[in-house]
Amino acid sequence: MKCNIATWDRALRIFTGFILLTWAFMGGPWWMFIGIVSLATGAWGFSPTYALLKTGTLREKS
With contact defined as beta carbons under 8 Å apart, do 21 and 35 qualify?
Answer: yes
Residue 2: its pLDDT value, please? 86
> How many other CB atoms sit within 10 Å of the CB of residue 16?
15
State pTM to two decimals. 0.87
DSSP element (H, E) containing 15: helix 7-25
Alpha-carbon span 62 to 57, nearest angstrom: 15
- Please say if the pLDDT value at position 7 is more than 80: yes
| DSSP annotation of 61 | P
Tens digits of residue pLDDT in 20-57: 999 999 999 999 999 999 999 999 999 999 999 999 99
| DSSP annotation of 60 | P
